[in-house]
A = this chain, B = another copy of it.
Amino acid sequence: MIPTDRALQQVLEWGRSLTGFADEHGVEAVRGGQYILQRIHPSLRDTSARTGRDPLDETLIVAFYRELALLFWLDDCNDLDLIAPEQLAAVEQALGQGVPCVLPGFEGCAVLRTSLAALAYDPRDYAQLLYHTRCYCAALRAGHAQVARAERWSYAEYLQNGVDSIAYTNVFCCLSLLWGLDMATLRAHPAFRRVLRLISAIGRLQNDLHGREKDESAGEGANAAILLLQRYPAMPVVEFLKDELAGHTRMLHRVMAQEPFPPPWGPLIEAMAAIRAQYYQTSTSRYRSDAAGGGQRAPA
Contact = CB atoms under 8 A, between A and B. Distances in A.
Nearest to A159: B156
A153 interface: yes
A103 to B, nearest CB: 28
B235 A232 contact: yes
Contact of A235 (B234, B244, B247): B234
Interface in A229-261: 231-232, 234-236, 239-240, 243-244, 246-248, 250-251
B155 A243 contact: yes
Nearest to A152: B243
Interface of A: 153-157, 160, 193, 201, 231-232, 234-236, 239-240, 243-244, 246-248, 250-251
Copies in the complex: 2
Contact of A240 (B235, B239, B247): B235
Contacts of A234: 234-236
Contacts of A154: 243-244, 246-248, 250
Across chains A and B, which 7 residue pairs bring their CB atoms closest together, nearest first? Answer: A154-B247, A156-B247, A157-B247, A154-B243, A235-B235, A234-B234, A156-B244
Contacts of A240: 155, 231-232, 235
A193 B189 CA distance: 13
A160 B251 CA distance: 9
A160 B247 CA distance: 10
Contacts of A160: 251
13 contacts: A154-B243, A154-B246, A154-B250, A155-B243, A155-B244, A156-B244, A157-B251, A160-B251, A231-B240, A231-B243, A232-B236, A232-B239, A234-B234
Contacts of A157: 247, 250-251
Contacts of A201: 156
A201 B157 CA distance: 13
Contact of A251 (B156, B193, B243, B251): B156
